């Protein structure tokens, strides 16, 4: 009888973890951005509008950009 309860408890935990994973998948929505180049040769991309609004970013806002191996991390 104890094993059945342990199994039920573990199954509930697995279900909770699966729900958390699905929730995280919804939060992490990758998007594609085209690289553009200014006449002076500077490379740039546009940030997603909803992300900028969420973090109260405006025209003159500064963001921290960290280069980590093959990734860029942008922190508002």
Q: What is the pLDDT of residue 34?
A: 95
What is the per-residue pLDDT for 11?
85
This prediction's pTM: 0.56
Residue 15: helix, strand or coil by DSSP? helix
**How many angstroms separate the CA atoms of 52 and 72, rounded?**
17
Summary mean pLDDT of the chain: 87
**Nearest by Cα to 51 from 18, 29, 36:** 29
The size of the chain, in residues, is 76
Q: List the chain pLDDT tens, one digit each, 76 residues.
A: 567 788 888 888 888 888 888 777 766 677 889 999 999 999 999 999 988 998 999 999 999 999 888 888 899 9
């Amino acid at each position: 009888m104890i094993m059945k309860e342990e199994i039920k408890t573990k199954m509930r935990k697995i279900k909770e973890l699966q729900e958390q994973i699905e929730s995280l998948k919804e939060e992490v929505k990758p998007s594609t951005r085209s690289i553009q180049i200014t006449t002076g040769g500077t490379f740039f991309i546009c940030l997603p509008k909803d992300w900028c609004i969420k973090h109260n970013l405006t025209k003159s806002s500064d963001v921290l950009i960290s280069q980590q191996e093959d990734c860029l991390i942008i922190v508002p």
